[in-house]
Structure 1
Amino acid sequence: MTPPRARPRPGELHLWWLPVPPGASPGRARSVLDAAETARARRLRGPERRHRFELAHAGLRLLCARYLGTGPGEVAFERTPCPRCGTAGHGRPRLRGGAGPEFSMTHSGSAVLYAFAAAPVGVDLEAAPARPGVERTVGGWLHPGERRALDALPEGERPGAFLRAWVRKEAYLKGVGTGIAHGVDGPPGSADAAWTLLDLDAPGGFVAAAAVSGGSPGTLRSGTLPASVVATAARL
């Protein structure tokens, strides 16, 4: 997909992948971050984690700027009130004042995934395969129904099934706006008729899912955002 110009229409889902290989330099990416993003980056231990954070957040700004027709440093974000506890600034991130499309961002290891839609959206990405035994430990936090479904599978299939269940769960919770702050033991997103869950085609070594408010997107567009473009902090 070419760099976005038109915002996603109802029924469209735009996906962007940003590969961040080991040793990738943030270049000028940090120059477009705001004070809060810069402070968060500085708190991260290790240059590689810090550089990946800077590239991921600069990439989000570049894509949002293209949809808005502005500069990446002029993009402003806010958070909706949490639908669970009502806390202001604790819910789903969005462009300030609802100025543009809904979005979600996730990163794991060397990959970043962005999703843009006209309706609330959430995405999650996890590196595969899962660590041995993770479905027995972290998987214990899931809803009892999800846990029973995993337990019913042959042992060799459980790690992969756990990752698929986990990314769907996190994508849904991000889309709703609660995240995992209130736990992950609630019913799966597939039980919520107001949301559609999608398993995404991910690069090798990753599992990903999206959750979109409303019906299943009729149009799915995807593309790759090169780290070299983000590192120049240039407008797309």
Structure 2
Amino acid sequence: MTPPRSRPRPGELHVWWLPVPPGASPGQAGSVLDAAESARAGRLREPESRNRFVLAHAGLRLLCARYLGTGPGEVAFERAPCPRCGATGHGRPRLRGGAGPEFSMTHSGTAVLYAFAAAPVGVDLEATPARPGLERTVGGWLHPGERRVLDALPEAERPGAFLRTWVRKEAYLKGVGTGIAHGVDGRPGSDDPAWTLLDLDAPGGFLAAAAVRDGAPGRLLSSTLPVSVVATTTRR
């Protein structure tokens, strides 16, 4: 992997993809996780899910370390205050003490997506076609304006349009720091003047979107993080 030349500047969005194919081994990647991450990984019963969790979180640590100029095991995270209730246990994740760029991570199936920016950022990724029952499960959480737009489309176009709307909404909510767990009421992200929503180029079989606060990025840099690099990551 080519190390990032510098942290994202205002107006830049750095996007990283980590492909995690079936059977990918985490190798030594687990050595850089902290106690909480290791405990979460240990609670995953399916080896495939556990390996992807370890690789995804080790990849985040590796990228943060490259931006900070430190070791992956030395990266420390915290939670920003929740914009709804002010609590610090479930706000947007960030580097401890504002040590580096803002970031967001998401994963679906065999892909992990990371985004880094100078301003708060959120990303979401979904495998296509949509999971069976997804619209029935979460469609009621859409903003009435989003629902009206979808209902006006020909029936054949609605599943794809719904999934695109959903990844944008989740990216926005992750960027804001509330997430789905704290409700999706209020204006849709596309109507919030403080945020810009972007559809990202994604590998075949996926849809992805980013939400960035304080203006549209004028420069987007996209790179792939090889899983072999993450698997050989060790604490130093």
Name the TM-score, length of structure 2 as normaliser: 0.96
Q: Give runs of aligned pairs for residues 221-232 of structure 1, distance below 5 A.
A: 221-232=221-232
In the other structure, the counterpart of 1:199 is 199
One-letter amino acid of the counterpart of residue 198, structure 2: L
The aligned amino acid for 1:195 is W
Q: Which moved more, 1:134-143 or 1:211-220?
A: 134-143
Residues 149 and 61 from structure 1, CA distance in 2 versus in 1: closer, same or farther, beyond 3 angstroms? same
CA contact (8 A) 1:142 1:186 kept: no
Deviation of 1:12 after TM superposition, in Å, equals 0.3
Q: 1:39 to 1:133 in 2, by over 3 A?
A: closer
> Is 1:9 aligned with 2:9?
yes
| Other structure's SS at 1:44 match | coil
The equivalent of 2:140 in structure 1 is 140
Contact kept? 2:106, 2:125, Cα under 8 Å: yes
Q: What is residue 97 of structure 2 aligned with on the other side? A: 97
1:26-105 matched pairs, under 5 angstroms = 26-105=26-105
SS of corresponding position for 2:196: strand
Q: Is the 8 A contact 2:106 2:123 kept in 1?
A: yes
User: How far apart, CA to CA, are the structure 2 residues paired with 1:107 and 1:118?
Assistant: 22
* 3-state SS of 2:129 partner: coil
Q: Identity over the aligned pairs, expressed in percent?
A: 86
Q: What residue is the counterpart of 1:217 in the other structure? A: 217
Q: Deviations over 1:49-94 (max 9, x none)?
A: 0000000000000000000000000000000110011112210000
* 1:155 and 2:170 correspond: no
Equivalent position amino acid for 1:183 in 2: G
**Residue type at the aligned position of 1:182:** H
CA distance in 1, matches of 2:40, 2:114: 19
Report how far residue 234 of structure 1 moved. Answer: 5.2
SS of alignment partner, residue 181 of structure 1: helix
> Which AA in structure 1 matches 2:171?
A
Match of 1:129 in 2: 129
Q: How many pairs were matched up?
A: 235
Q: Which sections of structure 1, spanning at least 5 residues, go unmatched?
A: none
Rate the CA distance shift 1:133–1:79 in 2: closer, same or farther, 3 A: closer
Give the direction of change, closer, same or farther, for the CA distance of 1:34–1:210 in structure 2 (3 Å limit). same
Aligned to 2:18: 18
TM-score between both structures, scaled by the size of structure 1: 0.96
Letter in 2 for 1:172: Y
Aligned partners of 1:132 and 1:93: how far apart in 2? 30
Q: CA deviation at 1:4?
A: 0.9
- Contact 1:2–1:223 (CA under 8 A) maintained in structure 2: no
**Contact 2:25/2:231, CA 8 A, preserved across alignment:** yes
The gaps in structure 2 that reach 5 residues or longer are: none
**2-side partners of 1:72 and 1:168: how far apart?**
30
Contact 2:32 2:234 survives alignment (8 Å): no
Which residue is 2:189 aligned to?
189
SS at match of 1:62: helix
